[in-house]
Chains A and B, each alone.
Chain A
Amino acid sequence: MPDRELRFRVFRHNPFDPESTPRMVQFQLTETPRMTLFTALTRIREELEPSLQFDIVCRAAVCGSCAILVNGKPRLACRTRIETLPNDITLMPLPFFKLVADLSVDTGQWFRDMGTRVQSWINAREPFDPNAEEARMSNETAAEIYELDRCIECGCCVAACGAAQMNPEYLGAAGMLRIARFLADPRDGRPEAAVFDVVSTEEGIFGCIGLAACEDYCPKDLPLTSRLAYLRRKTALLALRKSSQVEESTVADGYA
């Protein structure tokens, strides 16, 4: 449908500018063939409003920079084809994350913080031996880890999550997926108790209220709900084992 007149309503606000107030601003563009929101936003900045802030890096759906709300739904701007949208397009920054300015939010800081909280690295390992052959792994295991490692930290899952909006400490589907990624990795030696401490809390798996919007909006089609369910079962099992250990020890105490 090239040649359509497109009306963009774009959120604008710069919290670092004392004179700025949140507002919606209109821009008009004529559609060109094969236009994406990346091309449209770039044209708005180049032709109409050079101060407009938004985040784009790879423009190929691999870096996770460009998630925004498009007519109310979290999406990657670079992978949104204008053809699929009506003439009126409302663009808002992702909710939940700290606003940088206009359409730009601080997903980067949130994900770094999440990474530290869930210890997003290979834990408890032997020192690296540069002269040794690599540890072997089946290709299926590698593929399974890769599948869980594909998250691009765009923030769509958290922005779409009802629970996260009420509980800012919630680690979100992305955080839970990260834990599942390390649980699936035989190179990671973290003790189960450490996993349990992070997961079995309101900030972890018990924060999830099961709306499954995370998976609906994940641009990478990651298996979020099945991993959440897996972690829920796993924590339940761990909890059971823990409580039976406690019982055993009380029983033992009783006999002493």
Chain B
Amino acid sequence: MTVRSDLLVIGAGLAGERVAIEAASRGSDVILLSLVPPRRSHSAAAQGGMQAALANMAAGADDSPDVHFVDTVKGSDWGCDQDVARLFTDSAPAAVRETAYWGVPWSRVVPGRREMPDGIWVEESEEKAGLIAARAFGGTQSWRACFASDGTGHSLMYALDNEVLRLGIAVHDRTEAVSLIQDGERCHGALIRDLRTGELRPYLARATVIATGGHGRIYGHSTNGVINDGSGMALALNTGVVPLGNMESVQFHPTGVVPGDILVSEACRGDGGYLLDASGHRFMPDYEPEKKELASRDVVSRCMMRHIRQGFGVESPYGSHLWLDLRHLGKDHIERNLQEVATITRDFLGINAVTELIPVRPTQHYSMGGIRTSIKGEAYGLEGLFAAGEAACWDLHGFNRLGGNSVAETIVAGKIVGASVAEYLESDDSPVRQNAITKLAHESIKQTEARIVKLRNGGSEHALVLRQRVAEVLTEKVGIFRTGSELDEAVMELSELLDRSTRLGLRSSGRGANPELADALRLPGIIRLAITIAQGAQMRTESRGSHYREDYPHRDDVNWLKRTLATWPEAGEGPSVTYEPVRITDLPPGDRGYGEGSKETEGALSDA
């Protein structure tokens, strides 16, 4: 059974839903697809906040989209497109207000004086009482991160999905897009696999948006939800004509708990927590005598990994880790100021943070790279294809995303891309070649069916085994530290894994909505994605933002003020890489002012 609509949005997280709402309000007929019920998308896990320069707080009274722009460009290590950053920071205030109008219970300004955990007093003005409040985030000059108590992502996700319900937008959950239906010039929708029945169905549409979120899980250890494995980026890469931008640009967070990789806020280090090694030694002062645990997110992650590599990690069935020690802060302080951390360790690890050590290690957190789009969200390479959110490289974040800018991107870009898709649908008057499209859809079903038959007939390799190896290679060789020789090894080993993935088989029957079959179908695309990350990192012989080359430790604006574009030509053995310049409109490259020379990125206290 073929399903048709004007617009197909693949992914119902914050980005996908915001696109759908905008397009549907402008009269487009939209279908939203999601692996899971929309509200369970990983956007719901964002806790920290959403950046928008409302300037309602005393410590942000001078804030403006201009200041937000400067923070964003510096944060990106000049890797972003400045026209995009400008459009984003200008649009963010109205975008956050619109979500208030839809019902997000944003925390509000309470006038009067109060003492902060660090002993500083702030006084909020009477005049701003009841407007949307904001908190401080790392790498920002003002208090600008709007928040809804401790559940910003949850409240946004629910408010947006409520709008989707109100507008009666069709949501097909438990469906997975497995390939794009396209003819090398134009995208006509996607082939989906029904995760209830296992059935394959073509969804044909005049425009398709990919909003499938990040790829964290291909690293194995990630703060991302278990469904975030970059399958949407792989959909684009598998077309052979759509380029991914800056895939080597991957952000890590120093404190994911072990096991489980749940993120604990950087407030625990900000408030004076120590990092200890296997012998109980506080090692950060050895590497960073001045800033110690308070050095930037990237620096701390690197020191932790260096220390683990030197054999000082704590062995566990879940791999090596280090300890986070809050004990000296005392019960009162922990219960008052670090409640969230204490709850996570109690509920998921059974650890009492007041008396016990917390196992942590640096963990993949965010993908700045993704499907390269224009400022209007049009993917390069295929007409009728768009992308938004973490799956896209709109390019707001360059080589490092500021805390709070990602949730904001989903909402702001979602609105902009939704509008541009709706315009595209209105203006597009190219003849619909129904027969040709039906033929393409049939071919795509046939191809996937053939793959399934082959998998059922059983090769000797198992998806899970290969996938674990992919994760290990990425973590060890394409992680926080990178060197040319290791990246060469990574590309080689991943290519071998790609070759082995042609001989996949199943251990189970593979009937119905079998999860093993889903993994096996997804795997080759995921390995290609991994190779694309490794290859981009191998070729970029500089360090910029979170891309850190030990053999090229400095930013190199002469040769590398440019964006990596990688496609995977059909029948090719590896990605084909080109570059394009980044767009610089206002702010020429300079020092990021984070201390420690221009390289050592971002303020210490960026949260999530």
- Tell me if A112 is interfacial: C-beta within 8 Å of chain B: yes
Cross-chain contact of B350 among A46, A81, A116 (Cβ < 8 A): A81
Q: Contacts A108-B173, A130-B97: A138 and B108 contacting too (C-beta < 8 A)?
A: yes
Encoded as 1 (CB less than 8 Å from any B CB) or 0, chain A from 144 to 164 comes to 011001101100000000000
Q: Contacts A16-B197, A143-B105: A83 and B513 contacting too (C-beta < 8 A)?
A: no
Please determine whether B101 and A122 come into contact, CB atoms closer than 8 angstroms: yes
Note all chain B residues with C-beta closer than 8 A to A53. 513, 515
- Tell me if A253 is interfacial: C-beta within 8 Å of chain B: no
Please determine whether B464 and A65 come into contact, CB atoms closer than 8 angstroms: no
- Tell me if B26 is interfacial: C-beta within 8 Å of chain A: no
Which among B109, B163, B348, B464 has the highest number of chain A CB atoms within 10 Å? B348
Please determine whether A32 and B317 come into contact, CB atoms closer than 8 angstroms: yes
- Tell me if B595 is interfacial: C-beta within 8 Å of chain A: no
Within the complex, the shortest CB–CB distance from B18 to chain A, in Å, comes to: 14
- Tell me if B336 is interfacial: C-beta within 8 Å of chain A: no
Within the complex, the shortest CB–CB distance from A94 to chain B, in Å, comes to: 14
CA distance A128 to B99 in the complex (A): 10
Cross-chain contact of A115 among B40, B165, B344, B508 (Cβ < 8 A): B165
Size band of the interface chain A makes with B = 35 or more
Q: Contacts A57-B225, A130-B94: A101 and B512 contacting too (C-beta < 8 A)?
A: yes
- The residue of chain A having its C-beta at the shortest distance from the C-beta of B258 within the complex is A34
B residues 343-361 in Cβ contact with A at 8 Å: 344, 347-351, 359
Please determine whether A128 and B166 come into contact, CB atoms closer than 8 angstroms: no
Note all chain B residues with C-beta closer than 8 A to A139. 107-110, 130, 133
Encoded as 1 (CB less than 8 Å from any A CB) or 0, chain B from 487 to 518 comes to 00000000000000000001111111111100
Please determine whether B131 and A136 come into contact, CB atoms closer than 8 angstroms: yes
- Tell me if B316 is interfacial: C-beta within 8 Å of chain A: yes
Please determine whether B259 and A34 come into contact, CB atoms closer than 8 angstroms: yes
Q: How many residues of B contact A (CB 8 A)?
A: 72
Please determine whether B100 and A60 come into contact, CB atoms closer than 8 angstroms: no
CA distance A57 to B225 in the complex (A): 5
- Tell me if B437 is interfacial: C-beta within 8 Å of chain A: no
- Tell me if B148 is interfacial: C-beta within 8 Å of chain A: yes
Q: Contacts A58-B45, A108-B173: A122 and B103 contacting too (C-beta < 8 A)?
A: yes
Note all chain A residues with C-beta closer than 8 A to B350. 34, 81, 83-84
- Tell me if B171 is interfacial: C-beta within 8 Å of chain A: yes
Cross-chain contact of A62 among B45, B97, B509 (Cβ < 8 A): B45
Note all chain A residues with C-beta closer than 8 A to B316. 33
Please determine whether B102 and A137 come into contact, CB atoms closer than 8 angstroms: no
- The residue of chain B having its C-beta at the shortest distance from the C-beta of A143 within the complex is B149
CA distance A107 to B507 in the complex (A): 29
Determine, out of B79-87, B151-159, B279-287, the stretch whose residues face the partner at the interface: B151-159
Note all chain A residues with C-beta closer than 8 A to B516. 50-51
Q: Contacts A121-B103, A134-B131: A50 and B508 contacting too (C-beta < 8 A)?
A: yes
Note all chain B residues with C-beta closer than 8 A to A241. none
Note all chain A residues with C-beta closer than 8 A to B591. none
Cross-chain contact of A120 among B131, B162, B508, B511 (Cβ < 8 A): B162
Please determine whether A50 and B506 come into contact, CB atoms closer than 8 angstroms: yes
A residues 99-152 in Cβ contact with B at 8 Å: 100-101, 107-109, 111-112, 115-116, 119-122, 125, 128, 130-139, 141-143, 145-146, 149-150, 152
Within the complex, the shortest CB–CB distance from B475 to chain A, in Å, comes to: 18
Cross-chain contact of A134 among B45, B100, B165, B348 (Cβ < 8 A): B100
CA distance A94 to B350 in the complex (A): 25
- Tell me if A235 is interfacial: C-beta within 8 Å of chain B: no
Please determine whether B197 and A134 come into contact, CB atoms closer than 8 angstroms: no
Please determine whether A150 and B154 come into contact, CB atoms closer than 8 angstroms: yes
CA distance A53 to B196 in the complex (A): 10
- Tell me if A233 is interfacial: C-beta within 8 Å of chain B: no
- Tell me if A79 is interfacial: C-beta within 8 Å of chain B: yes
- Tell me if A52 is interfacial: C-beta within 8 Å of chain B: yes
B residues 253-290 in Cβ contact with A at 8 Å: 259-260, 262
Within the complex, the shortest CB–CB distance from A29 to chain B, in Å, comes to: 12
Which among B103, B151, B262, B351 has the highest number of chain A CB atoms within 10 Å? B103
Please determine whether A100 and B196 come into contact, CB atoms closer than 8 angstroms: yes
Note all chain A residues with C-beta closer than 8 A to B166. 119, 121
Within the complex, the shortest CB–CB distance from A192 to chain B, in Å, comes to: 19
CA distance A100 to B348 in the complex (A): 27
Which among A63, A136, A152 has the highest number of chain B CB atoms within 10 Å? A63
B residues 324-354 in Cβ contact with A at 8 Å: 344, 347-351
- Tell me if A49 is interfacial: C-beta within 8 Å of chain B: yes
Note all chain B residues with C-beta closer than 8 A to A153. 37, 39
A residues 49-103 in Cβ contact with B at 8 Å: 49-53, 55-65, 78-79, 81, 83-84, 100-101
Note all chain B residues with C-beta closer than 8 A to A217. none
Cross-chain contact of A57 among B36, B131, B510 (Cβ < 8 A): B36
- The residue of chain A having its C-beta at the shortest distance from the C-beta of B199 within the complex is A16
Note all chain A residues with C-beta closer than 8 A to B513. 14, 16, 53, 100-101
- Tell me if A170 is interfacial: C-beta within 8 Å of chain B: no
- Tell me if B577 is interfacial: C-beta within 8 Å of chain A: no
CA distance A78 to B257 in the complex (A): 14
Note all chain A residues with C-beta closer than 8 A to B225. 57-59, 63
Q: Contacts A115-B165, A150-B154, A185-B103: A137 and B130 contacting too (C-beta < 8 A)?
A: yes
CA distance A63 to B173 in the complex (A): 15
Please determine whether B515 and A65 come into contact, CB atoms closer than 8 angstroms: no
| 8 A-B pairs closest in CB distance | A108-B37, A136-B130, A51-B508, A50-B516, A145-B105, A121-B162, A139-B108, A121-B166
- Interchain residue pairs with CB less than 8 A apart (15): A14-B513, A33-B316, A34-B351, A53-B513, A58-B42, A59-B225, A59-B260, A60-B45, A60-B260, A63-B44, A128-B98, A134-B100, A136-B131, A139-B130, A149-B154
Extra 7 A-B pairs, beta carbons < 8 Å, given A51-B514, A57-B225, A152-B44: A17-B511, A79-B347, A79-B348, A115-B161, A134-B131, A139-B109, A187-B101
Q: Could you tell me which A residues sit within 8 Å of B by CB distance? A: 14, 16-17, 32-36, 38-39, 45-46, 49-53, 55-65, 78-79, 81, 83-84, 100-101, 107-109, 111-112, 115-116, 119-122, 125, 128, 130-139, 141-143, 145-146, 149-150, 152-153, 185, 187-188
Q: Could you tell me which B residues sit within 8 Å of A by CB distance? A: 36-37, 39-42, 44-45, 54, 94, 97-98, 100-103, 105-110, 129-133, 148-149, 151, 154-155, 158, 161-163, 165-166, 171, 173-174, 196-198, 225-227, 259-260, 262, 316-318, 344, 347-351, 359, 464, 506-516
